[in-house]
């Protein structure tokens, strides 16, 4: 292990060939001991490689999640936002086709009520409001065997 005081850019710095780093003293006189590993927080090449691998892995996970989220069904609007039992409601958004969305539900705190699908395309689903009590319900989508309760509200009137 070889530490050197000073380099071409500053008198007050340490360089370590093994660590491939330079520690500058920010205007202080001298750096003291030439064994920086015992007294300074040093990042070695192996630590940098590990950190780079973890950063790369995290990036892949984020990008994969984003790619999956882009293909997930999304609701952008419902029309109307309120209605009575058996009224027609249009759910608009993206990736709403039959290959992605199996069913549409109105959900309250305890139960999910399946709506009858009248028409379905990638951009919209037309449903009939199911037999439910008057109140506010979230619009939910069944994707595969999972039910995704969206923060979109529909008010069922009497």
User: What CATH superfamily classification does 73-156 receive?
Assistant: Immunoglobulins (2.60.40.10)
b/e per residue 41-57 (b: at least 16 CB within 10 A): eeeeeeeeeeeeeeeee
Read off the tokens for 19: 């660590």
What is the rounded distance in angstroms from the CA atom of residue 101 to the CA atom of residue 122? 9
Domain positions in the chain: 1-40, 44-71, 73-156
**Res. 51 pLDDT band, cuts 50 70 90:** confident
Q: Residue 55 has what pLDDT?
A: 73
Flag whether pLDDT at 3 surpasses 70. no
**Phi, psi for residue 85 in degrees, rounded to 5:** -55, 135
Q: Residue 148 has what pLDDT?
A: 92
54-87 pLDDT tens trace: 676 666 666 555 445 567 899 999 999 999 999 9
Say if residues 148 and 105 touch (Cβ distance below 8 Å): no
Average pLDDT (21-41) is 44
> Which stretches within the chain are classed as H helix?
36-39, 45-71
Q: Establish whether the linkage from the previous residue to 45 is cis, with ω within 30° of 0.
A: no
Q: Residue 124 has what pLDDT?
A: 97
Say if residues 104 and 77 touch (Cβ distance below 8 Å): no
Q: Output 144 or 48, whichever has higher pLDDT.
A: 144
86-141 pLDDT tens trace: 999 999 999 999 999 999 999 998 999 999 999 999 999 999 999 999 999 999 99
């Amino acid at each position: 292990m070889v530490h050197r005081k000073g380099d071409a850019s500053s008198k007050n710095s340490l360089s370590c060939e093994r660590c491939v780093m330079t520690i500058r003293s920010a205007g202080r006189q001298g750096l003291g001991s030439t064994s920086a590993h015992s007294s300074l927080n040093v990042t070695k090449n192996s630590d940098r490689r590990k950190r780079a691998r973890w950063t790369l892995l995290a990036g892949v996970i984020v990008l994969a999640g984003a790619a999956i989220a882009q293909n997930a069904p999304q609701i952008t609007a419902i029309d109307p936002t309120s209605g009575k039992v058996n009224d027609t409601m249009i759910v608009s958004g993206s990736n709403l086709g039959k290959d992605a969305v199996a069913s549409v539900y109105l959900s309250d705190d305890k139960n999910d009520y399946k709506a009858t699908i009248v028409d379905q395309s990638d951009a919209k689903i037309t449903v009939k409001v199911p037999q439910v009590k008057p109140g506010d319900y979230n619009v939910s989508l069944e994707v595969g065997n999972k039910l995704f309760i969206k923060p979109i509200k529909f008010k069922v009137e009497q």
